[in-house]
């Protein structure tokens, strides 16, 4: 919505005006108006104050001085001046129109509407007054009245840019996105120096996943006004959509420097921290956004997503509920609450929220359909699959991010229904798109594996053995993603003595602490000391205790902890470590066919994935070589699903836990599960994923070549 004020036509002044003090009051007013229109506010103010010195109650001078005060960021003074002008001459529609807009910007909608109505009553042909009244109605959520005002303004003045811009915002509110884009473009064309429609257009293009187009539009706005906070914020969202978080963060920060109370910029910063798994900072940003804008539904939805990742289920539900109370059609809240229901095992409720989003005019239909494919096995007669297949016929015309989700959704549909050739086509296309958007260096990753091995060599481990915290609280379940770690944790978490902690970031965060001369991971591990190990172990245990003070044992199922098995052994010598193995090709295929929420950059190219697996296999062999026998348990997924009771007894025995029959009914255990295997652990044991890779035949050739001798024999 516009932030400009209605002014008289540009004044006519003498060709060679004398000094202001020699002009007549009408000439001085004309010159002051001209200077104000040129942005020379101080010069205009000086003339107006000279007029008021001679005529303290000069209504026109008071009004224009009020407009200048507002432009200078003094809203209270501006309102006082125009109120005084109206007391001198209350029949000027222009005064009421501008005062109403000032009150609107201060959030006083009752006064804004009252003065707006007075303005149009005084001059029914003042188009800008109708437009300003419409903005006040819009903010008051009286959309029909708002639209009537804007249409009347355009009837009086068809090219009125502010009314065209406001119509764009009305169409956007009503989920009529093509019409909104058209109105914003018209407004920008009518008034090239009027930047708000450019900014609004950029914002809509971002939400429509047309980030490249948005950047062009927003850059044009910034070229005219580098201090335009709203444009910086929207560029931040565009860059985030293009997976350029560092550049996006800088624009959000710039927006906040220019407008410290900008809730939307805090939402952007919160999302970046969330995606980078810096959840405490993400929470702080979300809370700040809500403090600044308590009625902003998207801020509550963001905080709900953050609390979901922090395993604070009650808080997450409360945030999603608050967001939906403010905006019952908010897609991010519906999908977020649906996903939270999935994690809690309530698949029926999850599907209900996904389908509710489908029914909304502005719902994220493709996002909802993608989530529905993940919620349950797709059937050949599935209405959701039929809709996705239909969307696939038009896939070439979709933005890249939508194509990405659609390819993975169709891959899941065809995989579930046994059409593996089509499934692989869509998985390959989806992974190709995802790989093009991420910065993953397989050579650098291989070097990290080598440096871990060098940093925690046999002599290093032998010299530090037994120096950490002696707590028996943690049970680590680790391995490659999609290798069976979730199933293993669910079996353990079904035991009455064990709390399932899920994928905790704590250990890897500790492992990345600089040591020595500020060395980063993994070179910091060369500088470990007995004191460091004891402190790190104590810190890790304290983090577990904060989550569950009364728990006897707590699982940490972060798969990537396999990178630091040697460190776990040193800093927590009494911890139990369970390494879950699975057929290498099945593991890699399951990774390749999954669109991960964040991380796992190595999984979107079959060759890179196979090479990463070989590096993982090399590192696990290193841990077996240098650690004492029994330092960790190797548990094979295939053996676990083939003979669940025997392997579960072996697992519990290794962890020092007595047998409990509940471990065989793991699918009935009520707990929140945050993992890509979110729905599988709600089912009894099944073996259909064993040797799954053979259904894909020669489409896996690049993966098989990369794995080499790790490929199982026929």
> Among 588, 543, 560, 571, which residue's Cα sits nearest to residue 712?
588
Tokens of 101: 């807009």
pLDDT tens-digit map of 232-268: 999 999 999 888 999 999 999 999 999 999 999 999 9
Kindly tell me the number of DSSP H helices and DSSP E strands found in the chain: 35, 5
pLDDT tens-digit map of 128-172: 999 999 999 999 989 999 999 999 999 999 999 999 999 999 999
Rg (CA), the chain: 31
Residue 301, pLDDT score? 97
Which of 200, 224, 248 finishes a domain?
224
Residue 468 burial (CB < 10 Å; 0-12/13-18/19+)? buried
Same structural domain, 410 and 503: no
Cα three-residue angle 588-591-594, rounded to 5 degrees: 150
In a domain, 418, yes or no: yes
Flag the least confident range among 8-22, 299-313, 527-541.
Answer: 8-22
Calculate mean pLDDT across residues 604-612: 97
CATH code of the domain covering residue 484: 3.40.50.300
Same structural domain, 278 and 342: yes
Whether the per-residue pLDDT at 14 is higher than 70: the answer is no
Which of 437, 460, 481 finishes a domain?
437
Same structural domain, 410 and 486: no
Residue 599, pLDDT score? 82
Same structural domain, 378 and 467: no
pLDDT tens-digit map of 331-370: 999 999 999 998 887 888 999 999 999 888 765 688 889 9
pLDDT tens-digit map of 541-579: 999 999 889 999 999 999 999 999 999 999 999 999 999
Residue 342, pLDDT score? 85
DSSP 416-477: HTT-HHHHHHHHHHHHHHHHHHS---HHHHHHHHHHHHHHT-HHHHHHHTT-S-----EEEE
Same structural domain, 156 and 110: yes
Q: What's the CA gap between 424 and 436, in Å, rounded?
A: 18
Whether the per-residue pLDDT at 678 is higher than 90: the answer is no
Which of the pair, 197 or 38, is modelled with greater confidence? 197
Whether the per-residue pLDDT at 668 is higher than 80: the answer is no
pLDDT tens-digit map of 79-114: 999 999 999 999 999 999 999 999 999 989 999 999
In a domain, 151, yes or no: yes
In a domain, 652, yes or no: yes
**CA-to-CA separations, 448 to 413, 455, 511, 523, in angstroms, rounded:** 37, 10, 13, 9
Q: What residue spans of 59-108 are helical by DSSP H? A: 59-71, 75-88, 93-105
Same structural domain, 429 and 454: no
Residue 247, pLDDT score? 96
| Residue 614: pLDDT band with limits 50, 70, 90 | very high
Which of 392, 412, 437 finishes a domain?
437
Whether the per-residue pLDDT at 59 is higher than 60: the answer is yes
Calculate mean pLDDT across residues 456-472: 91
CATH code of the domain covering residue 188: 1.25.40.10
Residue 345: which residues within 8 A CB-CB, separation 6 or more?
670, 671, 673, 682
In a domain, 249, yes or no: no
| Residue 518: pLDDT band with limits 50, 70, 90 | confident
Same structural domain, 61 and 210: yes
Same structural domain, 367 and 295: yes
Same structural domain, 38 and 187: yes
Residue 16, pLDDT score? 44
Whether the per-residue pLDDT at 5 is higher than 50: the answer is no
Same structural domain, 569 and 500: yes
> Among 577, 357, 386, which residue's Cα sits nearest to residue 488?
577
Same structural domain, 42 and 160: yes
pLDDT tens-digit map of 384-442: 999 999 999 989 888 888 899 999 999 999 999 999 999 999 999 999 999 998 889 99
Which of the pair, 584 or 9, is modelled with greater confidence? 584
In a domain, 600, yes or no: no
Tokens of 511: 């492992």
Whether the per-residue pLDDT at 492 is higher than 80: the answer is yes
| Residue 681: pLDDT band with limits 50, 70, 90 | very low
Residue 272, pLDDT score? 96
In the block, residue with structure tokens 């303004």? 153
In a domain, 598, yes or no: no
pLDDT tens-digit map of 693-713: 999 989 999 999 999 999 998
- Is 582 in contact with 637 (CB distance < 8 Å)? yes
Residue 20, pLDDT score? 41
Tokens of 692: 């799954």
Tokens of 246: 């560092």
Express as a percent the part of the chain with pLDDT over 90. Answer: 77
Domains in the chain, number: 3
Whether the per-residue pLDDT at 680 is higher than 70: the answer is no
DSSP state of 677: T
Domain hosting residue 96, numbered range:
20-224
Calculate mean pLDDT across residues 203-215: 92
Residue 130, pLDDT score? 96
Residue 517, pLDDT score? 80
Whether the per-residue pLDDT at 12 is higher than 80: the answer is no
Strand partners, 578: 477, 633
| Residue 2: pLDDT band with limits 50, 70, 90 | very low
In a domain, 498, yes or no: yes
Whether the per-residue pLDDT at 15 is higher than 50: the answer is no
- CA dihedral of residues 438, 320, 375, 280 (deg, nearest 10): 40
Same structural domain, 376 and 276: yes
Residue 362, pLDDT score? 62
Exposure of 377 in the CB half-sphere (CA atoms within 13 A): 10
In a domain, 251, yes or no: no
Kindly report the average pLDDT of the chain as a whole number.
90
What does pTM read for this prediction?
0.77
Strand partners, 576: 475
- Is 81 in contact with 65 (CB distance < 8 Å)? yes
Residue 692 burial (CB < 10 Å; 0-12/13-18/19+)? middle
């Amino acid at each position: 919505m516009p932030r400009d004020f209605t002014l008289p036509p540009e004044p006519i002044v003498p060709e060679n005006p004398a000094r202001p003090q020699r002009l007549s009051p009408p000439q001085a007013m004309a010159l002051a108006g001209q200077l104000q229109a040129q942005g020379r506010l101080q010069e205009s103010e000086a003339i107006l104050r000279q007029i008021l010195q001679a005529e303290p109650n000069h209504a026109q001078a008071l009004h224009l001085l009020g407009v200048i005060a507002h432009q200078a960021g003094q809203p209270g003074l501006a309102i006082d001046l125009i109120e005084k002008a109206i007391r001198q001459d209350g029949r000027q529609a222009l005064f009421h129109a501008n005062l109403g807009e000032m009150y609107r910007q201060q959030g006083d909608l009752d006064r804004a509407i009252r003065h707006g109505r007075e303005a149009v009553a005084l001059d029914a042909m003042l188009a800008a007054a109708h437009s300003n009244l419409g903005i006040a109605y819009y903010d008051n959520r009286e959309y029909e009245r708002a639209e009537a005002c804007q249409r009347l303004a355009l009837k009086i003045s068809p090219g009125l840019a502010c009314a065209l811009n406001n119509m764009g915002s009305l169409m956007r509110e009503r989920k009529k996105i093509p019409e909104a884009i058209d109105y914003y473009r018209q407004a920008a064309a009518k008034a090239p120096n009027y930047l708000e429609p450019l900014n609004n257009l950029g914002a809509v293009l971002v939400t429509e996943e047309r980030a490249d187009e948005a950047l062009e539009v927003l850059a044009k706005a910034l070229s005219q006004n580098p201090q335009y906070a709203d444009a910086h914020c929207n560029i931040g969202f565009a860059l985030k959509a293009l997976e350029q978080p560092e550049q996006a963060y800088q624009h959000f920060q710039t927006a906040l420097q220019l407008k410290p109370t900008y809730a939307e910029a805090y939402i952007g910063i919160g999302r970046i921290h969330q995606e980078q798994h810096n959840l405490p900072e993400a929470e702080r940003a979300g809370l700040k956004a809500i403090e600044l804008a308590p009625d902003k539904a998207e801020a509550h939805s963001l905080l709900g997503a953050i609390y979901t990742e922090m395993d604070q289920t009650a808080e997450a539900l409360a945030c999603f509920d608050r967001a939906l109370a403010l905006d019952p059609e908010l897609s991010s809240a519906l999908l977020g609450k649906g996903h939270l229901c999935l994690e809690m095992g309530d698949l029926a409720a999850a599907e209900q929220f996904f389908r509710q989003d489908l029914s909304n005019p502005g719902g994220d239909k493709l996002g909802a359909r993608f989530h529905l494919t993940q919620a349950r096995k797709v059937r050949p007669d599935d209405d959701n699959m039929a809709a996705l297949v239909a969307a696939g016929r038009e896939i070439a015309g979709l933005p890249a991010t939508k194509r990405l989700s659609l390819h993975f959704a169709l891959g899941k549909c065809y995989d579930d229904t046994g059409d593996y050739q089509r499934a692989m086509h869509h998985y390959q296309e989806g992974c190709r798109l995802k790989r093009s958007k991420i910065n993953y260096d397989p050579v650098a990753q291989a070097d990290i594996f080598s440096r871990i091995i060098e940093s925690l060599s046999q002599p290093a481990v032998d010299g530090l053995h037994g120096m950490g915290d002696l707590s028996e609280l943690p049970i680590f379940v680790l391995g490659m993603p999609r290798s069976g770690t979730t199933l293993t944790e669910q079996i353990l978490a079904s035991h009455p003595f064990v709390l399932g902690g899920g994928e905790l970031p704590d250990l890897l965060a500790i492992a990345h602490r600089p040591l020595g001369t500020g060395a980063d991971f993994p070179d910091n591990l060369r500088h470990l000391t007995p004191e460091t190990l004891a402190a790190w172990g104590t810190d890790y245990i304290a983090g577990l205790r904060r989550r569950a003070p009364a728990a006897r044992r707590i699982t940490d199922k972060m798969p990537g902890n396999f990178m630091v098995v040697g460190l776990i052994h040193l800093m927590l010598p009494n911890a139990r470590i369970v390494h879950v193995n699975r057929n290498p090709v099945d593991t890699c295929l399951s990774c390749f066919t999954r669109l991960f929420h964040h991380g796992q950059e190595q999984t979107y190219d079959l060759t890179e994935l196979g090479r990463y697996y070989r590096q993982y296999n090399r590192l696990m062999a290193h841990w077996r070589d240098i650690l004492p026998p029994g330092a960790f348990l190797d548990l094979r997924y295939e053996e676990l699903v083939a003979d669940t009771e025997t392997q579960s007894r072996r697992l519990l025995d290794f962890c020092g836990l007595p047998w409990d029959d509940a471990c065989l009914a793991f699918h009935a255990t009520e707990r929140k599960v945050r993992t890509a295997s979110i729905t599988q652990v709600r089912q009894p044991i099944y073996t259909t994923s064993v040797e799954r890779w053979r259904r894909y035949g020669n489409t896996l050739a690049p993966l098989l070549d990369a794995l080499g001798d790790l490929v199982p024999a026929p």
